[in-house]
Chain A
Amino acid sequence: MAITVKLDDLLHDRRMTLTELAEKIDITLANLSILKTGKARAIRFSTLEAICQVLGCQPGDLLEFQRD
């Protein structure tokens, strides 16, 4: 996929687990895992906003476009 999700790197930098983030943004761990592994088809603005709010980052820090 051309868009990659860099959630793993962001969590690593902030010493935070996926479970902790799931609790803070009120999203199920299963859904967050789908996002982290790049299996999600789409991401809601509300989810993006919540993740950026908790991790103190910009949407561009979370998503990256890679040319095939």
Chain B
Amino acid sequence: MARILSATLPIAYIVLRIMIVLNWLYGACLVALLSYSFINEPFLMRALHLASPSENPALVIGVRAIAALGILTVPLNLAMLKRLLAMVETVRAGDPFVSANAYRLNAIAWVLLSLQLIGLVIALIGKAVSTPAHPLHLDAGFSPGGWLAVIMTFVLARVFAEGTLMREDLEGTV
């Protein structure tokens, strides 16, 4: 068990580092795509199978709004990944039960909640602008697993905070 745990820690560290880079790339791609949709409008029209923006203006606005919301998730993802990385570093240093980690977990829970809400908004926009002639298939919306993760992280943050207090008490016991 200890061997498995000691192996997962460096893996988690590397995966988180890679995910931070991928998140930046994802953000850069979204910014580029959104900008390009304004610079070269025919490109967007072709992608949406539209003859002109006036054919379905709501779809054009909706797709751009979804891209903008996607960009909004980049700093949120970064905030979560950086906090997770800092937590992994405290485990590597051999002292993870500190109040800073409880605050980090709480912040991660709020980020997860925000991401779930953004996912719902994206799904609603997709549904609102999608037409039988121009259907928009999006992999977003209500995710029971995602909401469970939000609740679990909030609970874990509280457990961590209580555990840290108990540890501080124990350290001051003679």
Contacts and interface: CB of A to CB of B under 8 A. Distances in A.
Q: Are A and B subunits of one complex?
A: yes
B55 interface: no
Interface string B134-174: 00000000000000000000000000000000001101111
Contact of A27 (B169, B171, B174): B174
Contacts, number: 24
Q: B interface, how many residues as a size bin?
A: under 10
Interface in A23-58: 27, 31-32, 34-35, 39-44, 47
B173 A39 contact: no
B12 to A, nearest CB: 34
A57 B171 CA distance: 26
Contacts of B174: 27, 31-32, 34-35, 40, 42-44, 47
A32 B173 CA distance: 10
Contacts of B171: 41
Contacts of B169: 41-42
Interface of B: 168-169, 171-174
Given A41-B169, A47-B174, 8 more contacts: A31-B174, A34-B172, A34-B174, A39-B172, A41-B171, A42-B174, A43-B173, A44-B173
